[in-house]
């Protein structure tokens, strides 16, 4: 299946674009929890903390947000401050799902009980992370080679909680070990409320194209909701995935920090005659200033690092963005970084050109 940015096979690409696109569903029910619209912010390590989640939610169009993937072992260790921080959320984040990873069924079950006690709407099992340090502990996508072990986790967690239990997984370890359909069927038989597929293998990591046909195969195999993930970069791509796979919702990961408006754009595209707003430079300024201000207000210990991390995403495509990124990277404090952002954009918007104009 070709995506909208695949320039090879021009005739096929034109044909796909001319075909009627099915809109992303207005809503989706997962175990009684309503997701409206049927769009999900994917869990991303180092990205989807409470600040970014609320930031995305406030921009509009995202039906479900998820935490960073969190170690079940860490949740049970009372002194693990990182896990505690990962699971911190505010009331305006509902509906929200906590994603856990681990390989011990009883540890996973107890961590899921704690998640339910914290007030999360759903709990999700991570079977997709390709990171070596996670895989070597038999976590994330490392479990894809041991379906019986996954089954034991499914049964233990499902018996431990009353909130909806879901799973996000990859298609398999490699092209020679595709297990996604079998895994989805097992999830359904164990009482899970929904499945989400990142349509790549563990060996692919984040390279190459996502194989949307695997999402379609799962949709044909189970009756529980199927969430599709992989290579959604525009509203048109989101609708193309729904059209080609029949999935019940779409999940967006890496595109969200690059284009935080993507969820709102999808909602606009599906409800406003295939039109959606492109952010202006003033919009981008407001977006960066808002996110950085939220980081400062939250008093996160890594606020400066977060600002520098997000600067490369948020300033992509901004004329003179290289100069702004350089100014941000050279700053020592969060307040100084915010000041550099304000100075840069106010000068541009006023036409003063205080910072040197450089190629992005």
Residues identified as active-site: 129
Measure the CA–CA gap between 77 and 70, rounded to whole angstroms. Answer: 12
Quick one: CA dihedral 116, 59, 48, 212, positive or negative? positive
Q: Look up residue 24 and give its two tokens.
A: 């992303």
Q: By C-alpha distance, which of 107, 148, 152, 108 is closest to 126?
A: 108
Strand partners, 28: 35
Residue identified by tokens 């999900």 is: 40
**Angle at which helices 50-59 and 281-298 pack, to 10 degrees?**
140
Q: Look up residue 248 and give its two tokens.
A: 């019940």
Please answer whether residues 92 and 57 qualify as being in contact, where contact means their C-beta atoms are separated by less than 8 angstroms. Answer: yes
Q: Look up residue 290 and give its two tokens.
A: 């808002």
What b/e sequence results for 213-222 when a residue is b if at least 16 CB atoms lie within 10 Å of its CB, and e otherwise?
Answer: ebbbbbbebb
Measure the CA–CA gap between 227 and 56, rounded to whole angstroms. Answer: 19
Please answer whether residues 237 and 8 qualify as being in contact, where contact means their C-beta atoms are separated by less than 8 angstroms. Answer: no
Q: Cα angle at 126 between 217 and 130, to 5 degrees?
A: 85
| CB-based contacts of 146, cutoff 8 Å, min separation 6 | 138
The 3-state DSSP class for residue 33 equals strand
Strand partners, 237: none
The 3-state DSSP class for residue 23 equals coil
Measure the CA–CA gap between 109 and 115, rounded to whole angstroms. Answer: 10
């Amino acid at each position: 299946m070709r995506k909208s940015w695949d320039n090879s096979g021009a005739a096929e690409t034109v044909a796909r674009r001319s075909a009627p696109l099915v809109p992303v569903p207005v809503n989706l029910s997962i175990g009684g929890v309503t997701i409206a619209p049927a769009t999900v912010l994917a869990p991303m390590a180092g990205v989807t903390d409470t600040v970014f989640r609320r930031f995305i939610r406030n921009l509009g169009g995202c039906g479900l947000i998820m935490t960073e993937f969190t170690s079940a072992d860490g949740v049970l260790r009372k002194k693990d401050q990182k896990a505690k921080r990962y699971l911190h959320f505010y009331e305006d984040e509902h509906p929200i799902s906590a994603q856990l990873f681990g390989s011990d069924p009883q540890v996973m079950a107890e961590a899921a009980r704690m998640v339910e006690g914290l007030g999360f709407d759903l709990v999700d099992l991570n079977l997709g992370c390709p990171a070596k340090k996670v895989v070597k502990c038999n976590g994330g996508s490392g479990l894809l080679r041991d379906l019986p072990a996954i089954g034991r986790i499914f049964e233990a967690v499902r018996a431990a909680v009353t909130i909806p239990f879901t799973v996000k997984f990859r298609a398999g370890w490699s092209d020679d070990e595709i297990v996604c359909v079998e895994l989805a069927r097992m999830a359904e038989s164990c009482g899970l409320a929904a499945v989400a597929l990142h349509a790549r293998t563990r060996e692919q990591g984040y390279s190459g194209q996502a194989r949307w046909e695997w999402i379609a195969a799962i949709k044909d195999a189970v009756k529980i909701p199927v969430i599709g993930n992989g290579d959604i970069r525009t509203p048109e791509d989101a609708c193309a995935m729904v059209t080609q796979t029949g999935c019940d919702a779409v999940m967006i990961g890496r595109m969200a920090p690059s284009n935080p408006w993507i969820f709102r754009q999808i909602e606009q595209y599906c409800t406003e005659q295939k039109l959606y707003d492109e952010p202006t430079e003033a919009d981008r300024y407001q977006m960066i200033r808002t996110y950085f201000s939220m980081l400062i207000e939250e008093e996160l210990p890594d606020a400066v690092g977060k600002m520098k991390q997000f600067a490369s995403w948020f300033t992509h495509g901004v004329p003179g963005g290289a100069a702004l990124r350089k100014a941000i990277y050279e700053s020592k404090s969060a307040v100084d970084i915010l000041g550099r952002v304000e100075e840069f954009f106010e000068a541009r918007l006023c036409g003063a050109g205080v910072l040197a104009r450089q190629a992005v």
